[in-house]
Chain A
């Protein structure tokens, strides 16, 4: 493997009882690139995400994260919050999971928890209002403000997150994930429920994150216009296995992918393949 690979998923398998949700899946994600994971509903994409971000413990296989300083982390050995804290993998959720009763600004402050916890001397320095804590808090607010400005929510910083329109909530969730300063950002259907204009804005935001912040992105998405526009690399899954991989162009023309998406049976798929070649 070259140094440009950030995530290597190797023979990943996830079983739930007798159901094999992900079966021997291998793929890689490049550094500072956008890798899209696509496939029909129930293909096992979100399960892969949950394995990578520590919500599931995989039944088999390895997931290796390589940091900029070529530090390697086996993700399957970390659990729960350590994935975000130590491995610097951040994620968003298919059904938005903001803190609805907290303001947009507070949401972004919570995301900086670990850094602020240290700065507040595990609460004790913060309790007595030490100057070092005050400056750290101010910096955190500045960072949050900067992200709010970037996603166009500066005016609504003090509104409850649950009161924001759907599209704003999606962007706020991405900003919140970015406030944890991740190396790899995993987005689970960020364009779901967005209109065309909002989707275009989202594409722009993701490209900014890739180019200006140097963050690698792993993306699950059904909106093909977004996938085709911004992805550098596409992995197609169906029934828990990888059925195709390549550039957006290659994948789009792949007969197996077309068959999977059109729900054609085997005979038709072969027919499609033959007509394609």
Chain B
């Protein structure tokens, strides 16, 4: 930065220039806010339109934008061109690198201890289960989007297939959770393969659109196939998981009675927490393992360059299908867990918004990074709850936070890629070199 100073130090911009820029910003703000803030409309008691003006608020906002614009220009002139170095000092970067190594084990230990620390705080435990569900979904989608580079906007379909597989098998045939869990995964991955076939030849936007449509199709089928799925009424009375066949109920055959301790509903919550933690860790372990196997390398190679893959004799079809199937399987597991946790599922839980949320977690975390996805799920789901106090501004704060994060780290929290094999020492690969795939 200092070396560049002589050439890049901007000439002091004239007052007229700053004024003009601020005026334009203020004008844009005026146009934008005049209807949003300036005029307040509401439906009256008899259905007529009533409105009143809030010109004072409007004037204050426009003035704030005007002043802010001047301040930003002056700061920009003082600082020179804004670079990475200016925002993040090198000391902080190296400290971050150190923290990064310790963060994964610390997070794991913390996750294991959550039920112990927050045993009597039901809210925290429920939130933990929710976060872990999204961590698992994020890790599952990460296989498809992050590793294979196939943009999937319909991931919720597999979540739904998993949830309904368990719900219907359990309520109709009385199968236990532990038998249904693998079945739900297998059924979901079959759907993954079914989705995979038609989209094999598609890339980028087209792939995204078809996967989006696929997610909607599954939801619409669930709504309309009333005789099987109960339609919009959903499926209720889904059995809870048992611990080796022992239910966690207050009765005489319940776990509490067998262990001779007093029954508490918290037991079940803690049990569910550890189930989803185990499932998420399984997802993580399998994904890390797969990355180091030829199939995982083929996924990443596919993301980097599909033509080169073909020239090396890699079967693109099976590679893409296995990526879809593997991602879908984890989604199916998560779905089955969701069904057993809620005890009730309906199509409302499987809207596009869920797909978008999971995709946002993967993108914010840094595509392909396991730790990044976990951190993103924690910040997104946990952060969303944190802002609950802000009520209606929650979404706004959240949106601003996401925009800032994307400016600061355009490739996600952890954008670099760790090699899967090395000779002497493992070097992180900068995100500039890593391709994003067809997405």
CB within 8 Å for A93 and B421 given contacts A110-B298, A163-B433: no
Question: In the complex, are the beta carbons of A160 and B430 less than 8 A apart?
Answer: yes
User: Could you tell me if B424 and A99 are in contact, using CB atoms closer than 8 angstroms?
Assistant: no
Instruction: Determine if A99 and B313 form an interchain contact, defined as CB atoms under 8 angstroms apart.
Output: no
Which stretch of A69-77, A78-86, A198-206, A209-217 is in the interface?
Answer: A78-86
Do the beta carbons of A157 and B313 come within 8 Å of each other?
no
A246 within 8 A of B: no
Known: A113-B294, A158-B423, A158-B425. A100 touches B435 (CB 8 A): yes
Closest Cβ of chain A to B284, distance in Å, is 14
Contact with B305, one of A97, A105, A116 (Cβ below 8 angstroms): A97
| Nearest Cβ on chain B to A75's Cβ, whole angstroms | 14
A234 to chain B, nearest CB (A): 24
Whether a CB of chain B sits under 8 angstroms from the CB of A126 is: yes
Binds A, one of B236-244, B285-293, B332-340: B285-293
| CA–CA, A90 and B313, complex, Å | 8
Is the CB–CB distance between B297 and A98 below 8 Å?
Answer: no
In Å, the complex CA distance between A145 and B422 comes to 10
A225: CB under 8 A from chain B?
no
Instruction: Using A80-B316, A116-B294 as known contacts, say yes or no to A157 and B311 having CB atoms under 8 A apart.
Output: no
Taking the closest CB of chain A, its distance from the CB of B147, in whole angstroms, is: 12
Query: Which B residues touch A83, using CB under 8 A?
Result: 313
**Whole-angstrom distance between the alpha carbons of A112 and B421 in the complex?**
14
Q: Are A101 and B429 within 8 A (Cβ)?
A: yes
Q: Does A189 contact B (CB under 8 A)?
A: no
The answer to whether the Cβ of A176 comes within 8 Å of any Cβ in the partner chain is yes
Q: How far is the CA of A21 from the CA of B297 in the complex (A)?
A: 36
Of B309, B310, B313, most A-chain CB atoms within 10 Å: B313
Check B152 for interface membership: any CB of A closer than 8 A.
no
A106 to B313, Cβ gap below 8 A? no
Contacts across chains A and B counted by CB atoms under 8 Å: 134
Shortest Cβ distance from residue B367 to the other chain A in the assembled complex, whole angstroms: 11
Determine how close the nearest CB of chain B comes to the CB of A110; give it in whole angstroms: 4
Is B312 close to A, CB under 8 A? yes
Q: Decide yes or no whether A53 CB sits under 8 A from chain B.
A: yes
Instruction: Let me know if A127 and B286 touch, CB within 8 A.
Output: yes
Q: Contacts A102-B419, A123-B294 given: A160-B429 contact, CB under 8 Å? A: yes
Task: Decide yes or no: A91 and B311 within 8 Å by CB, A106-B419, A127-B290 being known contacts.
Answer: yes
**A176 to B308 alpha-carbon distance, docked (Å):** 10
CB <8 Å contact, A157 and B424 = yes
Q: Taking A80-B310, A106-B297, A113-B314 as contacts, is the C-beta distance between A101 and B422 under 8 angstroms?
A: no
A1 to nearest B CB, angstroms?
26
Interface string of B349-379 (1 = CB under 8 A from A): 0000000000000000000000000000000
Contact A123 B424 (CB under 8 A): no
For chain B, residues 358 to 417, give those with C-beta under 8 angstroms from any C-beta of chain A. Answer: 417
Give chain A residues whose Cβ lies under 8 Å from the Cβ of B281: none
Scan residues 23-62 of chain A and give those whose CB is less than 8 A from a CB of chain B. 53-55
Chain A residues within an 8 Å CB radius of B309: 81, 110
> How many interface residues does chain B have, given as a range?
35 or more
Residue in contact with A157 in the complex, picked from B301, B420, B422, B434, CB distance below 8 Å: B422
* Cα separation A159 to B312 with both chains bound (whole Å): 21
User: Does B315 interact with chain A (Cβ within 8 Å)?
Assistant: yes
Tell me which residues across on chain A come within 8 A of B297, comparing CB atoms. Answer: 102, 106, 109-110, 113
Q: How far, in angstroms, from A180 to B426 measured CA to CA in the complex?
A: 25
Q: How near does chain A come to B186, taking the closest CB pair, in angstroms?
A: 15
User: Is B227 at the interface (CB under 8 A from chain A)?
Assistant: no
Residues of B within 8 A of A112 (CB): 294
In the complex, are the beta carbons of A101 and B433 less than 8 A apart? Answer: yes
A53 with B311, Cβ < 8 A, contacts A100-B435, A127-B289 known? yes
Contact yes or no, B305 A99, CB < 8 A: yes
| Chain A residues, CB < 8 A from B427 | 103, 158-160
A33 to B429, CA, bound (A): 39
Least CB distance from B58 to A in Å reads: 49
Contact B301 A110 (CB under 8 A): yes
A103: contacting residue among B286, B289, B312, B429, CB under 8 A? B429
> Among the interface residues B290, B308, B309, B310, which one has the most CB atoms of the partner chain A within 10 A?
B308
CB of B286 within 8 A of CB of A176, answer no
Chain A residue numbers with a CB within 8 Å of B313 are 81-85, 113-114, 180
Docked-complex contact B315 and A100, CB < 8 angstroms: no
What residue in chain A is nearest B298 (Cβ atoms)? A113
Could you say which of B294, B295, B315, B316 has the most chain A C-beta atoms within 10 Å of its C-beta?
Answer: B294
- Contact between B429 and A99, CB atoms less than 8 A apart: no
Most buried by B among A54, A98, A126: A126
Does A162 sit at the interface, judged by CB under 8 A? yes
Contact A106 B420 (CB under 8 A): yes
Assess whether B286 is in contact with A102, with CB atoms less than 8 Å apart: no
Which of B289, B312, B435 is the one whose CB lies under 8 Å from A176?
A: B312
Contact of A81 among B316, B422, B434, B435 (CB under 8 A): B316
A174 to chain B, nearest CB (A): 12
Given contacts A81-B310, A81-B313, A99-B305, are A106 and B421 in contact (CB under 8 A)? yes
Q: Which residue of A lies closest to B285 (CB)?
A: A127
Instruction: Check B112 for interface membership: any CB of A closer than 8 A.
Output: no
Shortest distance from the beta carbon of B436 to any chain A beta carbon, whole Å = 10
> How many angstroms from the CA of A115 to the CA of B286 in the assembled complex?
22
Counting CB contacts under 8 A, is A120 at the interface? Answer: yes
Give the CA-CA distance A116 to B296 in the complex, in Å.
12
Interface bits A151-170 vs B (CB < 8 Å: 1, else 0) = 00010011110110000000
Partner of A99, one of B290, B294, B308, B315: B308
- CA of A83 to CA of B419 in the docked complex: distance in angstroms? 29
CB of A269 within 8 Å of the partner chain: no
Q: Is B307 an interface residue (CB 8 A)?
A: yes
The answer to whether B312 and A105 have CB atoms under 8 Å apart is: no
Asked if B295 contacts A117 (CB within 8 A), the reply is yes
A-B contact sample (16 more), CB < 8 A, given A110-B312, A158-B427: A81-B312, A81-B316, A97-B308, A97-B311, A99-B300, A99-B301, A99-B304, A101-B429, A106-B421, A109-B420, A113-B301, A117-B294, A127-B286, A127-B293, A157-B424, A162-B433
Nearest 6 CB-CB pairings of A with B: A84-B313, A101-B434, A85-B313, A99-B304, A162-B433, A116-B294
Can you sample 26 A-B contacts with CB below 8 Å?
A53-B311, A55-B307, A81-B309, A81-B313, A82-B313, A84-B310, A97-B308, A97-B311, A100-B304, A101-B304, A101-B417, A101-B434, A103-B427, A103-B429, A109-B420, A110-B298, A113-B298, A113-B313, A126-B289, A127-B289, A127-B290, A141-B421, A154-B423, A157-B422, A157-B424, A158-B422
